Chain A
Amino acid sequence: MKVSIYRYNPETDREPSMKEYEVDTQGKDLMVLDILALVKEQDQSLAYRRSCREGVCGSDGMNMNGKNGLACITPLSQVAPGVLEGKKPLILRPLPGLPVIRDLVVDMGMFYNQYEKVQPYLQNNTPAPAIERLQSPEERAKIDGLYECILCACCSTSCPSFWWNPDKFLGPAALLQSYRFLADSRDNATEERLSKLDDPFSLFRCHGIMNCVSVCPKGLNPTRAIGHIRSMLLERGI
């Protein structure tokens, strides 16, 4: 099968280019990450991130035939039907919208900055009890669909609002984490958290395009979380 991969080494290349490789999968429907490993056996200069290879660490977010996702849990048949039969190539590019360090490796700095801005840690200024802070199963259920985020950046780098204003719009991933703490019954910094989001850019640049929802490899829904924060801001304003 054919693979076309975005290559760029700042030390040797004046500009990026797509490089074609031929890989033998012996007809097997492998994961995209397996294909990258086979390419790297041929050409060790190829750079990409990977760690858990099972979709929980968030290292290998990339753009595969036009769609962001995790290489390790994306089978060839899903991302590029017909690729095994040689009908078309697998096309791998770095996540869009972030500076490229080398090949498929992007500089995640802006993405992490936005995450840090939402103060992604539990805040509670009451003295902690000798045991855990009690939380009912119903209260706990409110953070399901939020805490599972793996910070792979597939969502934020597929979001046009984030492409335009990566410094001012927090992006879907950071906002999902913001709501994760707003929704946690053990956190009592609600007012402070909301006031930080109450400007034209941080949250309100979300236009409900929902690319984030369609690409999230964990099946999470940042748009819904953003909607919940909007409601909280609205209620607070009344």
Chain B
Amino acid sequence: MSIRTITFDAIVVGGGGAGMRASLQMAQSGFKTALISKVFPTRSHTVSAQGGITCAIASADPNDDWRWHMYDTVKGSDYIGDQDAIEYMCNVGPEAVFELDHMGLPFSRTEEGRIYQRPFGGQSKNFGEGGQAARTCAAADRTGHALLHTLYQQNLKNGTQFYNEWYAAELVKDDEGNVCGVIAIDIESGETVFFKAKATVFATGGSGRIYASTTNALINTGDGVGMALRAGLPVQDIEMWQFHPTGIAGAGVLVTEGCRGEGGYLINKDGERFMERYAPNAKDLASRDVVARSMMMEILDGRGAGPDGDHVFLKLDHLGEEVLHSRLPGICELAITFAQTDPVKEPIPVVPTCHYMMGGIPTNVHGQAIKLSGGHEGEDQFVNGLFAVGEVACVSVHGANRLGGNSLLDLVVFGRAAGLYIEDQLRQGMTQYEPTDANIDEAMARLNRWESSTGGESVPALRKELQSVMQNHFGVFRKGDLMAEGVAKLADLRKRIANAHLEDKSGPFNTARIEALELDNLLEVAEATAIAAEGRTESRGAHSRYDYPDRDDENWLCHSIFDPKAKKLGKRDVNFKPKTVDTFQPKARTY
């Protein structure tokens, strides 16, 4: 079948922080770059990041050291973050953050005129020995908004070609599995087009919408992971989902960890500051997995608040109106809107809420996508033509648990790194792989399936059911038999979704079609998560099992690799070889 083809040197799929940092790098180099985004770029989920971007720029503490940040990140990852990648991120970070200031990002300031940094969870000085660090660079509590708009503005300035409100539906591969580009739909008209490029960069973000309760935007449907899995490519550590301690109870809307950084703390229904019992040193600024579990234990032990005892409180009123309105203005707005609570006067009802996908498409520090190999690092093979950056990627700098403020750093550092690498490769002459008509047809098959559907279940109902399976079977605490049930339910859902119905087949701005295509992706991510979670028989970071309560370094100090063809879980070595510092050896993780 023949469809219109548009050719670029590089295409970036996704207009969030990672995608726009990558496209900016390439646009500056003069290569023909397109950014394809299913929403106008400033509507991407990066906009919702609040607290800040963690980076050792030595503003709050002139002696701060990126190696301390590296130590914290390795420990936070529960030792399955790749140390070469974490080293790169923490070391290059300051340069990338200063660039953001030069681009115009409106950071909050210190009296000295430098960037304001606030304390965040899991951050220490002197390799855990020197107490709490203030390392998270902030623009009030709207850092993501400030960052995303700044990057969009710079892309405008540098002439990036935007395809806004275009939806990338499928990867196009040649017979050897080399990536040639993507099939994308112009949402406004409904036209389907083949975008051909030497480099395809996935920056499609996370997939929090696999859960019923999430801080994620409605657009976070795992499109990149879905496309990769359908193309037969593996995903790594996909069982690792972060539950953010403070989602507003009922609404799921995020309340930044910066609240606790500024001195707020959690209380149970008796008004007790319970984190003192679970993390005597770091207390409310322990790592997110630790705080989320502690909250759930309070709730399960009957010390939750509210008529159903299903949440705890975040207390901020003692900080005073002035601090709240200057440092946390956005939180005050959100609490009033979504919890009918003014934090100046009363505590906010909060509950752990699905927030971040630590796993994703495995890549190296250049963003090159890795395919299944012997399973050992060093023997990695790459998918020609495919890159991934940001939340969709698993470099892995977050391992089993991401530290707050590290996602924005991940975006800019690795968006930039991939841009630099591709620019260099293009200069040396990158291959454009050519698909056959049959390859294109293969990529169109799923679209055609929906277009020819004449009956079956509706997309919203199936989506709701999937989200409830994930919520009930793969939450903060997990258990083998419950997960096995969940896996079976997902297998059933797969059959039903394959026969679901797209009733509206019209062209212009058909959001029902987009939601149908997104549902396929949600299913792919959910199933990979479920099988990987059931397969990892230990508790590590965000993955916490009743039936395997301990960390098992002997068997699981490694990445999990989910193979979509066999639907089996394999293993891949973690990198323990940073280039300029000594390896941080795994030890017991306490806060």
- Closest chain-B Cβ to A67's Cβ sits at a distance in Å of 17
Q: Are the C-beta atoms of B460 and A41 separated by less than 8 Å? A: yes
User: Which residues of chain B are within 8 angstroms of A139 by Cβ–Cβ distance?
Assistant: 109
Is B47 interfacial (CB 8 A cutoff)?
A: yes
Q: Are the C-beta atoms of A44 and B334 separated by less than 8 Å? A: no
A44-B458, A137-B110 known; A9+B506 contact, CB < 8 A? yes
Q: Are the C-beta atoms of A133 and B102 separated by less than 8 Å? A: yes
User: Which residues of chain A are within 8 angstroms of B150 by Cβ–Cβ distance?
Assistant: 122
Q: Contacting B103 at CB < 8 Å: which of A121, A130, A131, A150?
A: A121
Is B411 interfacial (CB 8 A cutoff)?
A: no
Q: Are the C-beta atoms of B338 and A54 separated by less than 8 Å? A: yes
CA distance A11 to B459 in the complex (A): 23
Q: Are the C-beta atoms of B153 and A44 separated by less than 8 Å? A: no
Q: Are the C-beta atoms of B57 and A131 separated by less than 8 Å? A: yes
User: Which residues of chain A are within 8 angstroms of B153 by Cβ–Cβ distance?
Assistant: 120-122
- Closest chain-B Cβ to A28's Cβ sits at a distance in Å of 11
Is B512 interfacial (CB 8 A cutoff)?
A: yes
Q: Are the C-beta atoms of B154 and A121 separated by less than 8 Å? A: yes
Stretch at the interface among B111-119, B276-284, B440-448, B521-529: B111-119
CA distance A128 to B101 in the complex (A): 10
Q: Are the C-beta atoms of A147 and B149 separated by less than 8 Å? A: yes
**Contact code string A131-159 (vs B, CB < 8 Å = 1, else 0):** 11111110110010001101100000000
User: Which residues of chain B are within 8 angstroms of A124 by Cβ–Cβ distance?
Assistant: 102
User: Which residues of chain A are within 8 angstroms of B113 by Cβ–Cβ distance?
Assistant: 134-137
Counting chain B residues whose Cβ lies within 8 A of the other chain, the interface size class is 35 or more
Q: Are the C-beta atoms of B114 and A131 separated by less than 8 Å? A: yes
- Closest chain-A Cβ to B106's Cβ sits at a distance in Å of 5
Q: Are the C-beta atoms of B43 and A59 separated by less than 8 Å? A: yes
Is A48 interfacial (CB 8 A cutoff)?
A: yes
**Contact code string B218-237 (vs A, CB < 8 Å = 1, else 0):** 11000000000000000000
Q: Are the C-beta atoms of B39 and A59 separated by less than 8 Å? A: yes
Q: Are the C-beta atoms of B104 and A187 separated by less than 8 Å? A: yes
A41-B460, A45-B512, A56-B48 known; A132+B98 contact, CB < 8 A? yes
Q: Are the C-beta atoms of B43 and A51 separated by less than 8 Å? A: yes
Is A69 interfacial (CB 8 A cutoff)?
A: no
Q: Are the C-beta atoms of A122 and B508 separated by less than 8 Å? A: no
- Closest chain-B Cβ to A120's Cβ sits at a distance in Å of 5
- Closest chain-A Cβ to B509's Cβ sits at a distance in Å of 4
**Contact code string A28-65 (vs B, CB < 8 Å = 1, else 0):** 00000000000011001101111111111111000000
Is B142 interfacial (CB 8 A cutoff)?
A: yes
Query: Which chain A residue lies CB-closest to B106?
Result: A147
- Closest chain-A Cβ to B123's Cβ sits at a distance in Å of 20
User: Which residues of chain B are within 8 angstroms of A9 by Cβ–Cβ distance?
Assistant: 506, 508
Is B145 interfacial (CB 8 A cutoff)?
A: yes
Is B484 interfacial (CB 8 A cutoff)?
A: no
Stretch at the interface among A100-108, A196-204, A223-231: A100-108
CA distance A234 to B345 in the complex (A): 45
Q: Are the C-beta atoms of B40 and A47 separated by less than 8 Å? A: no
- Closest chain-B Cβ to A35's Cβ sits at a distance in Å of 14
Q: Are the C-beta atoms of A56 and B145 separated by less than 8 Å? A: yes
- Closest chain-B Cβ to A12's Cβ sits at a distance in Å of 7
User: Which residues of chain B are within 8 angstroms of A150 by Cβ–Cβ distance?
Assistant: 42, 47, 145
- Closest chain-B Cβ to A163's Cβ sits at a distance in Å of 22
CA distance A10 to B71 in the complex (A): 57
Q: Are the C-beta atoms of B43 and A52 separated by less than 8 Å? A: yes
Q: Contacting A53 at CB < 8 Å: which of B111, B114, B218?
A: B218
Residue of A12, A41, A181 ringed by the most chain B CB atoms within 10 A: A41
Q: Contacting B157 at CB < 8 Å: which of A51, A121, A131, A137?
A: A121
CA distance A53 to B510 in the complex (A): 20
Q: Are the C-beta atoms of A54 and B253 separated by less than 8 Å? A: yes
Is A186 interfacial (CB 8 A cutoff)?
A: yes
Query: Which chain B residue lies CB-closest to A54?
Result: B253
Q: Are the C-beta atoms of B43 and A134 separated by less than 8 Å? A: no
Counting chain A residues whose Cβ lies within 8 A of the other chain, the interface size class is 35 or more
Is B467 interfacial (CB 8 A cutoff)?
A: no
CA distance A56 to B216 in the complex (A): 12
Query: Which chain A residue lies CB-closest to B38?
Result: A51
CA distance A119 to B98 in the complex (A): 22
Is B317 interfacial (CB 8 A cutoff)?
A: no
Q: Are the C-beta atoms of B43 and A57 separated by less than 8 Å? A: yes
User: Which residues of chain B are within 8 angstroms of A57 by Cβ–Cβ distance?
Assistant: 39, 42-45, 47-48, 217
User: Which residues of chain B are within 8 angstroms of A135 by Cβ–Cβ distance?
Assistant: 109, 113
Is B107 interfacial (CB 8 A cutoff)?
A: yes
A120-B153, A137-B109 known; A52+B47 contact, CB < 8 A? yes
Q: Are the C-beta atoms of A101 and B509 separated by less than 8 Å? A: yes
User: Which residues of chain A are within 8 angstroms of B461 by Cβ–Cβ distance?
Assistant: 41
- Closest chain-A Cβ to B256's Cβ sits at a distance in Å of 12
Is A210 interfacial (CB 8 A cutoff)?
A: no
Residues facing A in B144-166 (CB within 8 A) are 145-146, 149-150, 153-154, 156-157
Is B585 interfacial (CB 8 A cutoff)?
A: no
CA distance A57 to B219 in the complex (A): 11
Q: Are the C-beta atoms of A132 and B512 separated by less than 8 Å? A: no
Q: Are the C-beta atoms of B102 and A132 separated by less than 8 Å? A: yes
Q: Are the C-beta atoms of B45 and A132 separated by less than 8 Å? A: no
CA distance A181 to B150 in the complex (A): 12
Is A194 interfacial (CB 8 A cutoff)?
A: no
- Closest chain-B Cβ to A237's Cβ sits at a distance in Å of 28
Q: Contacting A148 at CB < 8 Å: which of B43, B114, B115, B145?
A: B145
Q: Are the C-beta atoms of B146 and A147 separated by less than 8 Å? A: yes
- Closest chain-B Cβ to A103's Cβ sits at a distance in Å of 8
User: Which residues of chain A are within 8 angstroms of B111 by Cβ–Cβ distance?
Assistant: 136-137
Q: Are the C-beta atoms of B114 and A132 separated by less than 8 Å? A: yes
User: Which residues of chain B are within 8 angstroms of A119 by Cβ–Cβ distance?
Assistant: 157
Q: Are the C-beta atoms of A140 and B156 separated by less than 8 Å? A: no
Q: Contacting B511 at CB < 8 Å: which of A12, A48, A181?
A: A48
Q: Are the C-beta atoms of A51 and B506 separated by less than 8 Å? A: no
User: Which residues of chain B are within 8 angstroms of A101 by Cβ–Cβ distance?
Assistant: 188, 508-509
- Closest chain-B Cβ to A117's Cβ sits at a distance in Å of 11
User: Which residues of chain A are within 8 angstroms of B107 by Cβ–Cβ distance?
Assistant: 132, 140
Is B504 interfacial (CB 8 A cutoff)?
A: yes
A51-B39, A137-B110, A147-B149 known; A116+B156 contact, CB < 8 A? yes
Is A73 interfacial (CB 8 A cutoff)?
A: yes
Is B333 interfacial (CB 8 A cutoff)?
A: yes
User: Which residues of chain B are within 8 angstroms of A44 by Cβ–Cβ distance?
Assistant: 458-460, 503-504, 512, 515
CA distance A167 to B285 in the complex (A): 51
Residues facing B in A109-128 (CB within 8 A) are 112, 116, 119-122, 124, 128
Q: Are the C-beta atoms of B507 and A186 separated by less than 8 Å? A: no
Q: Are the C-beta atoms of B188 and A45 separated by less than 8 Å? A: no
**Contact code string B468-511 (vs A, CB < 8 Å = 1, else 0):** 00000000000000000000000000000000000110111111
Q: List 18 A-B contacts (CB under 8 A).
A: A12-B506, A41-B460, A41-B461, A47-B511, A51-B43, A52-B47, A54-B48, A54-B253, A54-B334, A55-B337, A56-B47, A56-B145, A119-B157, A122-B104, A132-B107, A137-B109, A150-B145, A151-B40
Other CB < 8 Å A-B pairs besides A54-B334, A57-B44, 15 of them? A9-B508, A11-B507, A44-B503, A45-B510, A51-B44, A51-B218, A53-B218, A56-B330, A105-B509, A121-B153, A121-B154, A132-B102, A136-B109, A147-B106, A186-B104
A-B residue pairs, 6 tightest by C-beta: A122-B104, A134-B113, A132-B101, A121-B153, A44-B512, A102-B509
